[in-house]
């Protein structure tokens, strides 16, 4: 059998699997609608409203599954989870806007109806479904009968439309796969998601009237801003330190403060950095806090100042974490071991100390790490590299890495994120090998890793880390065979740090050689 035939058969099998899941979503939506119809209209109108909203979520999920299949993106990621308010709203959003991704054109009348609908439905559901401590009457009294009936009719109409359409395939000529892949990936980034579903972006969607043109516009906007970041960093880090009249007067200064769990910060090392950098200045007023100032010229577009500033800050902080092998992030208050202020044994009149074991922290004090000049020098190289690949495939591992850091920073006894952080760092590790060309995505990953790490010193637990990462990647939400603590996450992060620095240095050395030839 030919290779083309094999690929065609595999594609058909994958199509049938996605279609099966999509059909199950629609069947569940139908069941929810039928259940809503059986309830007493007046007595249970708030529950009818809730079931109708759930049906719309299942329809929206069917749309997302179809989009992920067409874009050839793994649909098992967190976008399909039920845990966050954003995901509820996201699925409702696609329940309404999904048809405009296909062949249907959204009319002006429909656009007027869709304005802010996803958010308002979800908030309305929460407001009428639960009893609040301050309520003096049943919350269903806030919900008019007509509103519940209208949402049920809307869910029925959308279900009928979805059941009547043919599912798209990846080779559909009307689909821009690259733009759709970008959009689905951008949705998983919390900051980009906030901008994508922000007021300005939603107004543009309403103006355009269809999702495809909107995604194209969004990508253009982000690409332009990423190019601006790349241009700023390239110009600033490539030029010689200006003097006299040539010294540039900045127009904007963005100051951020980050905290280090791992390193002690000494002013003398920061002063050495500041001698050679006008663009990024480093200060500290506390041995565990680092203040970073970015100075931007008047050429920086004012309307993109927030995104450009955030992009540079995030890139620098990621670069610093990689180069230092430590943990630097925006300061997050968290309870690492205790949820209480005091516990007393009243019979013995004695204060007790009870806490989670192991404590959700790493004892970095034993290591006595200091942020040194060499680490800052390597941070500079990584910062430059990240800026150069911002709107390219090679940025993927750095985005996953940044998400892993965010999960680490937000992990505490109230909300455990160890698995999320571990999965993100392992994803970054694999994406780095894939985008660098050191692994083809099909052959044995462990062999590809050994080829690169064999050039370095002995790493005895490398196989164990890869086996654990592969096992966890197969089922991200399942409890691991061996417990994953911050120690395991830090070990994986360090392997990631080493390799990301290798590929950054390799690329920058290549660029410098090419510049020298010109």
**Among 204-213, 382-391, 412-421, which range has the highest average pLDDT?**
382-391
Predicted confidence at residue 118, as pLDDT, reads 76
Non-local (6+) Cβ contacts of 242 within 8 A are 248, 278
pLDDT tens-digit readout, 353-411: 766 666 667 778 888 899 999 999 999 999 999 998 887 889 999 999 999 999 998 88
pLDDT tens-digit readout, 314-330: 999 999 999 999 999 99
Q: How far apart are CA 43 and CA 211, in angstroms?
A: 38
The CA–CA distances, whole Å, from 354 to 197, 345, 360, 363, 412 equal 43, 12, 14, 19, 16
User: What is the end-to-end Cα distance of the chain in Å, rounded?
Assistant: 50
Q: Which two tokens stand for residue 57?
A: 């979520």
Task: Report the DSSP beta bridge partners of residue 344.
Answer: 351
Predicted confidence at residue 50, as pLDDT, reads 92
Tally the C-alpha atoms within 13 A of residue 48's C-alpha that lie toward its C-beta.
25
> Quick check: 417 and 486 in contact, CB under 8 A?
no
Gyration radius (Cα) of the chain, Å:
26
Q: What is the mean pLDDT of residues 494-515?
A: 92
How confident is residue 307, by pLDDT bands cut at 50, 70 and 90? Answer: confident
Q: Hey, how many other C-beta atoms are within 10 angstroms of the C-beta on 242?
A: 10
Q: How far is CA 256 from its chain centroid?
A: 21
Predicted confidence at residue 7, as pLDDT, reads 58
Would the pLDDT of 426 be above 90? yes
Residue of 241, 36, 228 whose CA lies nearest to 148: 36
Residue of 67, 99, 63, 22 whose CA lies nearest to 170: 67
Predicted confidence at residue 372, as pLDDT, reads 93
Predicted confidence at residue 283, as pLDDT, reads 94
> Quick check: 45 and 148 in contact, CB under 8 A?
yes
Would the pLDDT of 240 be above 80? no
pTM: 0.65
**If phi over 0 gives left and psi between -120 and 50 gives alpha, with beta otherwise, what is residue 59?**
alpha
Q: What is the mean pLDDT of residues 4-8?
A: 60
Predicted confidence at residue 427, as pLDDT, reads 92
Q: What is the mean pLDDT of residues 461-468?
A: 86
Identify the residue with better confidence: 189 or 133. 133
Task: Report the DSSP beta bridge partners of residue 291.
Answer: 257, 283
């Amino acid at each position: 059998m030919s290779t083309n035939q094999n690929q065609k058969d595999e594609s058909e099998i994958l199509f049938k699997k996605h279609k099966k899941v999509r059909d199950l979503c629609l069947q569940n939506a139908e069941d929810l609608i039928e259940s809503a119809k059986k309830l007493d209209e007046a007595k249970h109108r708030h529950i009818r409203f809730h079931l109708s909203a759930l049906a719309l979520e299942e329809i929206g999920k069917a749309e997302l599954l179809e989009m992920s299949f067409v874009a050839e993106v793994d649909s098992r990621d967190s976008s399909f989870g039920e845990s966050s308010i954003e995901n509820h709203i996201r699925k409702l959003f696609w329940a309404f806007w999904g048809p405009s991704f296909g062949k249907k054109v959204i009319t002006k009348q429909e656009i007027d109806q869709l304005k802010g609908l996803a958010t308002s439905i979800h908030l309305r559901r929460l407001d009428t479904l639960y009893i609040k401590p301050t309520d003096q009457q049943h919350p269903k009294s806030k919900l008019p009968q007509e509103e519940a009936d209208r949402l049920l009719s809307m869910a029925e109409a959308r279900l009928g439309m979805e059941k009547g359409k043919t599912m798209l395939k990846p080779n559909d000529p009307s689909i821009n796969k690259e733009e759709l892949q970008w959009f689905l990936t951008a949705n998983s980034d919390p900051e980009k998601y906030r901008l994508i579903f922000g007021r300005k972006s939603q107004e543009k969607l309403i103006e355009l009237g269809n999702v495809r043109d909107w995604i194209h516009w969004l990508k253009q906007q982000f690409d332009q801003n990423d190019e601006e970041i790349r241009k700023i960093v390239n110009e600033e880090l490539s030029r010689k330190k200006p003097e006299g009249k040539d010294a540039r007067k900045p127009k904007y200064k963005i100051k951020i403060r980050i905290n280090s769990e791992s390193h002690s910060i000494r002013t003398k090392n920061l002063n050495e950095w500041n001698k050679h950098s006008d663009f990024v200045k480093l200060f500290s007023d506390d041995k565990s806090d680092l203040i970073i100032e970015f100075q931007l010229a008047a050429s920086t577009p004012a309307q993109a100042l927030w995104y450009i500033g955030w992009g540079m800050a995030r890139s620098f902080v990621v670069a610093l974490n990689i180069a230092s092998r430590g943990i630097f992030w925006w300061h997050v208050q968290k309870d690492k071991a205790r949820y209480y202020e005091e516990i007393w044994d009243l019979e013995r009149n004695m204060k007790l100390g009870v806490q989670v074991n192991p404590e959700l922290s790493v004892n970095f004090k034993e290591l006595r790490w200091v942020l040194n000049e060499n680490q800052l020098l390597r941070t500079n190289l990584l910062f430059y590299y990240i800026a150069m690949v911002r709107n390219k495939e090679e940025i993927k591992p750095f985005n996953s890495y940044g998400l892993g850091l965010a999960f680490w920073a937000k992990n505490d006894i109230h909300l455990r994120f160890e698995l999320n952080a571990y999965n993100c760092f392992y994803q970054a590790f694999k994406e780095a090998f894939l985008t660098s060309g050191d692994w083809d995505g099909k052959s044995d990953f462990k062999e590809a890793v050994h080829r690169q790490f064999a050039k370095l010193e002995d790493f005895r637990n490398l196989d164990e880390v890869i086996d654990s990462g592969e096992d966890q990647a197969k089922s991200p939400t399942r409890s691991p065979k061996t417990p994953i603590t911050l120690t395991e996450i830090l070990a994986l992060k360090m392997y990631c740090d080493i390799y990301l620095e290798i590929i950054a240095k390799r690329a920058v050395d290549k660029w410098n050689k090419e510049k020298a030839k010109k």
